[in-house]
Every structure is written in C-alpha cells, then in structure tokens.
Amino acid sequence: MAYHTPKLVRMLLGGLHVNVCPRNFTHVQKLATNHSRGFTSSARCQDGQSSSGSTDDNLTVNFINRHGETLKATAKEGESLLEVVIRHHLNIDGFGACEGTLACSTCHLIFDPKHFDQLGPISDEEMDMLDLAFGLTDTSRLGCQICMSKAIDGMTVHVPKDVADARGETVGQQSQN
Amino acid sequence: MSPRCSWLYRLPGRALLGGIRTLPTTRCPGLHRSLTSSAHPPQICIVGSGPAGFYTAQHLLRHHTQAVVDIYEKLPVPFGLVRFGVAPDHPEVKNVINTFTQTAHSERCTFLGNVTVGRDVTIEELQTAYHAVVLSYGAEDKRLLGIPGENLPGVYSARDFVGWYNGLPDNRHLSPDFSAETAVILGQGNVALDIARILLSPIDLLKKTDITQTALDALSNSRIRKVWLVGRRGPLQVAFTIKELREMIILPGTRPANNPSDYQNLGDFIKDLPRPRKRLTELLVKAALEKPGEKEALRRSQSDREWGLRFLRSPVAVLPSEDGKKAAGIRLSVTRLEGNGENAVAVPTGETEDIPCGLILSSIGYKSVPISSSVPFLHKNGIIPNSMGRVQDAPGLYCSGWVKRGPTGVIATTMTDSFDTAQSLLEDIKSGALNYSENRLGASAIRELLLLRGIQPVSFSDWEKIDAVEAARGAEVGKPREKILDPEEMLQLVCR
C-alpha cells in the first residue's frame, strides 16, 4: 500500500524533521485489513532504546477521561500513549481518529507541568495540529507523539473537556471554526 | 435518473400483492432484530454517511446497548466528504474510514446506500418508521459569486472541481480547462489551498494518490503555471490552517510569490494574537519576508510553477475572451479593511484591478439546502436551527455536522459536534423526552417502501465489493484505489 508515501515524500522533500518520535513518518501503515484498531505498529515509538519493542508491560499511566473517570493502564517503554489507549480499549471517545499520522488533534492530552517538561521537544507538525485542538493549554501534547519512559512512569494525564465552551447552547448560530 | 437494478423493475407488482408480512425476514435484518429482542430497542436513523453521520452513529451505538442505528446515503458508496472532499494527497485523514467501517460492521447498524431521502423516501416516512431521525446530510450546495460572467466556461465552483478530481459522480463530466497559464482561486481557505496544491503538484506525486485517472490525465496536460489565491481581506483574516499552508510553501516544483508589502506591518499585531493565528501569521510572514537559505533558494529558483496570496481584492466580474465564449480574466475591486482581527470588514475603495487568467475557481464556501418543507431551516445561515443538535420545535428530529453548525471546521470538529448531538439524543431517551415504548419497524418498513418504488439499497457488504474492485484497479497502476465514477457501474457490481 502506498498510503504513507505522499506524506513521507513531503516530509523528505521539505527537509522537515520530527524531533520526538520519528516513527509516525516511517512506520505509518494502512490498516484497511485491521479493523480492530490494534495498530501496534502504526504508532510505535522507535526512539532508540525500544526499537525492538519492549515486552515488559511494567510502566503505568493514568488517563482522566471527559467524564472525570480515572483510567489506569499499564504501558511498555517506548509505547506511545495512543497505543496504550488502543491496546487497553480505554473509554475515551474518538481518540486517535487519524491513527497516529499527525493529521488530526483527537489524541490531545493535557499534562502536569512537571511531566510536560520531561517530554522532550515538540515538532512544528505537532504544534500545527495542536493549534486546531479544542481546549488548548500550555501543557498540551498529542498522545500519538508521546513515548512512555521511566521518567514519566505513573503520571496522570487529562483528556480535555470538549467543546461546550467553544459553542455553548447555540440555536441557529454558526459556530466559530 | 435514479440508478436501479434492472431486475427490480419487475418486482413492485408482486410486492404489492404479497403485502408487507410475506417478505422473508432474511431480507429484512431490521425486522428480525426487533422481533427477537425482548423489549423494543430505540430505532434511530441517520441521513447521510459522511463523518457527521458515522460519528453520530458511533457514539449512539457505543453508549446505548440496544439502540439500532441505520445510516441512509444517497450515493451507492459511503463516507461523504472523506471520500469526495478530503484531498487525494491527504491519505492520513482518510484513516477515519477504518473506524467508520468498524461502526458499520456493528450488528445494530445497517447502511442503506443508493437511497435519496426526500425523493425515494420522505422524512415523514422515516419519522414513522423510526423513533428518532438524525439529519447529517452536510452542505451539498455551493455559494455563488453573484457576479457577471460567473457562468462562462473556465469558471468553476471549488465544490464541483473538488468533486471532479475526487470522483464524485455528479461532477465526472466537468472537464475543466487547463489551457491557460494562470489560474485564480477566489477564497483563502483550506479548500482553496487543496485546489492550488492539486493544480501545481508534480504529476508523479499525484499518481500515487487516489485522484481519478480522468483528473490525472487532464492535469498531466495542464499548462497552468501560476495560481493566485484571492481574498477580500488581509493576511490576518485568512481562513486556511497552518498545516495546509506549510505544505503549500514546501510543495516540490513550486515557489511562493507573495507581495512583501502585504506583511511588512504585521509585526506589532502578531504578538497579541491567539496562538493558532499567531503561528499561522508568523509562517506567512516568514515565507514572504525571510530570505531563504541556500538550499531553499536553489529549490525555488529551479521551480517553474508559482503561487501567491492576493489580499484586499473582491471579485466584481469575470472578463470574457474576445469571442465571448470563455473566461479570460477577472476584475477585482480593491478593498480596505474597517475594524480589526476576525471581524474586520472589507470595503471597496473604488479602484479595480484586472488579472488575465483562463481558469477561475470560486472557493467561497459550501451551503446546506433544506431537505423537506417539514424540517425547519434557517436560510440566512444555511443551517437547521437547533439546540445542541435537537432540531427546534421538532421532537424526534436531530442534526449533526455541517447542516447543524455551518460548513466549517476539520473532521475533529465534526466528530465532537456529532458526539454532542448523539449525547442529546441519548439524554432524551433517558429522560423520556424521546418516547420509544411503541415498537417501530425501522429499516424493514423503509425497505418495503423502497421495494415498492423500485429502489435497491446498497448494503455495507455491497460497498465492500465495490471497494475491493476499486482497490484492485488501483493496485494495477500503483494507486491506493481507482474510484468508479459511474453509479450505474457501482450498482452493476453489487446486483449480480
């Protein structure tokens, strides 16, 4: 499948580089045959230490979803937060619509400042997508771009409350984009 | 004009004689479902199978354990603007189809393609067959320029042009004219940038996408070398988003040709802008004013195609060629801005400017149309009046997507707004505001009507046959798919 090619070509020709987890541009796969969304290889972190894929599921991360529920999940070193959500079928509606290809902002997560600082640099492309996210904060990142590591083991991240603030109870009004 | 299976023409008489109850239940999964269920499940139908329809269905199915959700679509193929709107060189965005497919595979979800609501079946009939009807039929019309010469050959709406290169059946005969050197796009949103990219992309990049072969052939012979995107207002009011701008700036074989003076005085404003607008403006300024590095300068000098943004210009008239037979240019009124920021208004100064060009694409927005006189509609805003997706003064009727909030936003916007509508519906079920104690027959009742009318719905597994053929045809030429353009051909594939 040539699905990833145009993006890859654009990235290469444009001389752009993705700082955090280059996996998304080298390992995006078309998942037409994989409707279970177990896209373990599409959003796999490939940042050195975990390129072979750690098998130890010995890290933890807590997600607080839109309903305020805390969802505790185990994670492997190098696994992206999007992968963690998918693998554990966590109850977060609409998470990861573009399947980790930096084409949407539906895996938007909000971090505590102390963990945010541990996350490493952010690419222009991730910033571009975050710009379209609802409820953007100073400590927002996209879950598909964050790889689990010991440094952030046990952290809690928030799924942003959605958009009632942007639109409210509108009757016949055009919302802002 | 409705595409139908020929063998069905012979059936209506028999169906009439047989009456409703004699139909085998194997043909009526909806009926089977409702008979075997202990209590009556809420029967819900959705009109339109684009992102709004599928995201609404997804939320309903996920958060209600019994609800039956059927999705009606006028074309034989699903996914609306994901198939017919998203640019062919943005395959990542189309990954949402995988989730939609999962939704369609739910036992409680039935896809009924090739059914035009409002013609083959009425809203009233849907309301009789279902407890709730969700309108998610999008914005299928275009806004008109309303200027002289708009109908000349060489002038196309973005809507039709995008439909043409994306294989929308209605637009398959468009045959746009690429014989001139310059194209003018009226509008500065993401659709305008999509079109500029398609017009200027190296053909080898497009060959690997699911753009139609017809479009590929026409673009291979295109003489277009310059594309200007014209906006009534200034650089602080552009509607496109930063990802699309960044792509345009680095598009191989092209160079940006912007007017530095448009950007020189923006510095003071930028720092106080909200982050998205700030980053977007910074990128605009950088592309226009910053001296490119050696490598980029070389790239630009070797590029033979160029594009640029033209601000403070409003279209006044399409200028005809000497023989009056096609467009040869556009007259623009020079404007100035009154007010600041998003609310600034363009006011004509009285000056005009003419740009010679042979291709004019108006990309000034989409527009929803009323589906039935029984459904309230706000013509001024082009939307159905609603409160969190509940159609005003119409119990049991809901709306989501562009017909609910207007034709703006990315797929994520539509996703959230569809979830909101689904949530409203679920709350109404819970509170009793939506009464579903009375059994409704859902799809089986509608199938009866369609059978009488000689309409054969296309199921999701039918679509998967079409999908497989398209993918196989694409694989032969190194594309993800080769879309079938003719609905008749689609129907023949599933009517065997």
Distance of alpha carbon B366 from alpha carbon B140, whole angstroms: 7
Mutation site for A-interface testing, chosen from B95, B238, B426 by largest number of A Cβ within 10 Å: B95
Annotation-wise, does B154 bind a ligand? no
pLDDT tens digit sequence for B290-307? 999 999 999 999 999 999
DSSP calls for B275-329: HHHHHHHHHHHHHHHSPPPHHHHHHHHH--EEEEEE-SEEEEEEEEPTTSSSEEE
CA distance B274 to chain A (A): 10
Distance CA B246, CA B241 (A): 9
pLDDT at position B431 is 95
- pLDDT at residue A106 above 90? yes
The whole-number pLDDT of residue A79 equals 95
Ligand-binding site membership of B456 (annotated): no
Q: What residues are paired with A63 via a beta bridge?
A: A71, A157
Please tell me the distance in Å from B61's CA to the nearest CA on chain A.
12
DSSP category for residue B7: G
Give tens-digit pLDDT for B24-56: 333 344 444 444 444 789 999 999 999 999 999
**Min Cα separation B287/chain A (Å):** 14
CA distance B309 to B193: 10
The share of chain A scoring above pLDDT 90, in percent, equals 53
- Which of B98, B246, B426 has the most A C-beta neighbours within 10 Å, making it the best mutation to test the interface with A? B98
List pLDDT tens digits, range A50-92: 444 557 889 999 999 988 999 999 999 999 999 999 999 999 9
3-state DSSP of B202-267: CHHHHCCCCCCHHHHHHHHCCCCCEEEEECCCCHHHCCCCHHHHHHHHCCCCEEECCCHHHCCCCH
pLDDT in tens, B143-166: 889 999 999 999 999 999 999 999
Residue from B267, B255, B205, B247 nearest B226 by CA: B255
Specify the pLDDT at position B24.
36
Give the pLDDT score at B113: 98
Fold of B3-140+368-495: Rossmann fold (3.40.50)
Say if the Cβ atoms of B96 and A133 lie within 8 Å.
no
Give the nearest chain B residue to A96 (CA atoms). B96
Q: B143 at the A interface (CB within 8 A)? A: no
Q: What ipTM score was computed for the predicted complex, to two decimals?
A: 0.84
Whether B456 and B8 have beta carbons less than 8 Å apart is answered as: yes
Q: Which pLDDT score is estimated for B39?
A: 73
What mean pLDDT comes out for the span B265-272?
Answer: 85
The C-alpha of A2 sits at a distance from chain B's nearest C-alpha, in angstroms, of: 6
pLDDT value at A165 more than 90: no
Q: Does B459 touch chain A (CB under 8 A)?
A: no
Encoding tokens for residue B148? 């002289």
Identify which of B59, B247, B413 has the shortest CB distance to residue A93. B59
Subunit contact A3:B480, Cβ cutoff 8 A: yes
- A5 at interface of B, judged by CB pairs closer than 8 A: yes
Looking only at the bridges linking them, the beta strands covering B327-338 and B345-356 are antiparallel
Residue B496 confidence class, pLDDT cut points 50, 70, 90: low
pLDDT in tens, B412-456: 899 999 999 999 999 999 999 999 999 999 999 999 999 999 999
Higher pLDDT, A37 or B204: B204
Query: So what's the pLDDT on residue B335?
Result: 98
Q: A60 in helix, strand or coil? A: strand
- Angstrom distance (rounded) from CA A85 to CA B158: 38
Backbone angles phi, psi at B386, to 5 degrees: -155, 160
pLDDT higher than 50, residue B93: yes
Q: Which residues of B touch A14 (CB under 8 A)?
A: 246, 250
Ordered by start, the domain boundaries in chain B are 3-140+368-495, 143-365
A4 CB neighbours in chain B (<8 A) are 91-92
Per-residue pLDDT at A34 exceeds 80:
no
Quick check: B89 and A6 CB within 8 A? Answer: yes
CATH 3.50.50.60 for domain B143-365:
yes
Q: Which residue of B has its CA nearest to A163?
A: B416
pLDDT of res. B269: 82
Helix (H) or strand (E) holding B403: helix B402-405
Q: Of A60, A64, A84, which is closest to residue A143 (Cα–Cα)?
A: A84
b (16+ CB within 10 A) / e for B370-382: ebeeebbbbeeeb
Closest residue by Cα to residue B487 from B113, B3, B73? B3
In this structure, of B26-30, B65-69, B280-284, the range with the lowest mean pLDDT score is B26-30
Tell me how close the Cα of A29 comes to any Cα of chain B, in angstroms: 10
- The pLDDT of residue B120 is 97
Q: Which of A14-28, A159-173, B460-474 ranks highest by mean pLDDT?
A: B460-474
Section B67-83 average pLDDT: 98
How many CB atoms neighbour CB B19 within 10 A?
9
Quote the mean pLDDT of chain B.
91
Interface test with B, best of A132, A139, A176 (most B CBs within 10 A): A132
pLDDT tens digits for B333-362?
999 999 988 899 999 999 999 999 999 999
Q: Global pTM?
A: 0.85
Q: According to the per-residue pLDDT averaged within each range, which of A158-167, B24-33, B274-283 is highest? A: B274-283
What's the maximum distance between 2 C-alpha atoms anywhere in chain B?
80
Cβ distance B405 to A170 less than 8 Å, yes or no, reads yes
Give residue B265's pLDDT. Answer: 85
Q: Please judge whether A172 and B55 are an interchain contact, meaning their C-beta atoms are less than 8 angstroms apart.
A: no
CB spacing of B420 vs A163 below 8 angstroms:
yes
In this prediction, residues B95-123 reach a mean pLDDT of 97
CB A125 within 8 A of CB B243: yes
pLDDT tens string B213-267: 999 999 999 999 999 999 999 999 999 999 999 999 999 999 999 999 999 888 8
